[in-house]
Amino acid sequence: MTARYDQIGIGYDSTRKADPYLTNRLFELLQTHTDGLYVDVGCGTGNYTSALQEKGLKLIGIDPSQEMLAKAGEKNSLVEWREGTAESVGLPDGCADGVVASLTIHHWSDLSAGFAEISRILKPGSRFVLFTTLPEQTKAYWLNHYFPKMMADSIDILPTIQQITDALNAANLELVQTEKYFVQPDLQDWFLYCGKHEPERYFSPAVRSGISSFSLLSNREEVENGLQQLREDIQQHRFEAIARQHENDLGDYLFIVSRKN
């Protein structure tokens, strides 16, 4: 997986930016203080790490991909970038005043081990803020209409809320709150459901290459056929009805906030 993410990292930043709203929510949910140390696990090219650092926080970014970390280091020398995994971050016990993990837990090899490691480095009373999507949320995306196999494979690797909660409890991390996020038209971080309101975004190879479902899990023939059908549905004004069929109140993504006991 690391080598495959090294390949994604080559053009990743052309479409993946830190979205201001998501950055602010991560910052607020962490309940930060300016003299603390915060860790971004699975930081990728460091977009959110840098955005949080620019808010006055001291940050360490952890990622297994050397290519991703190289891009991160080019952008921001004020963050400490370290190679590591969620299951082995390589930091001392109780060093962190907060941890964030954004759109990454579905790539971890062991969720329970990752949460245990995060708990180990957190100070008592400090927060762990996850941003992720649940299987039932992803099943509701209209993308399932056009790319059923790709989406099924994407959903298959997503931890359920029960699995997440059980792993948090086992790691002595108390669930504090959850908060739904619905994709907005002005979203600046073009992750999987970035085209919820702007389906034309998926016609761009650069956008698709920055999304792991398209770049790691998709079948070329299905993608080509799905894009052709999507293009025809937009041109024939059928897309609006299909999108409406997928409207729901589940949220598209979810913030999950826990606290080290």
Instruction: Print pLDDT tens along the chain (261 aa).
Output: 444 444 444 455 678 899 999 999 999 999 998 899 999 999 999 999 999 999 999 999 999 999 999 999 999 999 999 999 999 999 999 999 999 999 999 999 999 999 999 999 999 999 999 999 999 999 999 999 999 999 999 999 999 999 999 999 999 999 999 999 999 999 999 999 999 999 999 999 999 999 999 999 899 999 999 999 999 999 999 999 999 999 999 999 999 999 999
Residue 236: per-residue pLDDT: 98
Q: What is the 3-state secondary structure (H, E, C) of 1-67?
A: CHHHHHHHCCCHHHCECCCHHHHHHHHHHHCCCCCCEEEEECCCCCHHHHHHHCCCCEEEEEECCHH
Structure tokens at 161: 């809320």
Residue 8: per-residue pLDDT: 46
Residue 42: per-residue pLDDT: 97
Residue among 53, 60, 106 at smallest CA distance from 83: 60
Residue with tokens 């991560």: 26
Beta strands in 30-172 (DSSP E): 37-41, 58-63, 80-83, 96-102, 122-132
Predicted model pTM: 0.94
Q: How far apart are CA 109 and CA 5, in angstroms?
A: 14
Residue 261 near residue 173 (C-beta atoms within 8 A):
yes
First to last CA, the chain: 32
Structural domains of the chain in order of their starting residue, each with its CATH number: 2-260 (3.40.50.150)
Integer Rg of the chain from CA: 18
What backbone torsions phi and psi does residue 34 show, to the nearest 5 degrees? -65, -20
Residue 136: per-residue pLDDT: 98
Structure tokens at 211: 């999304």
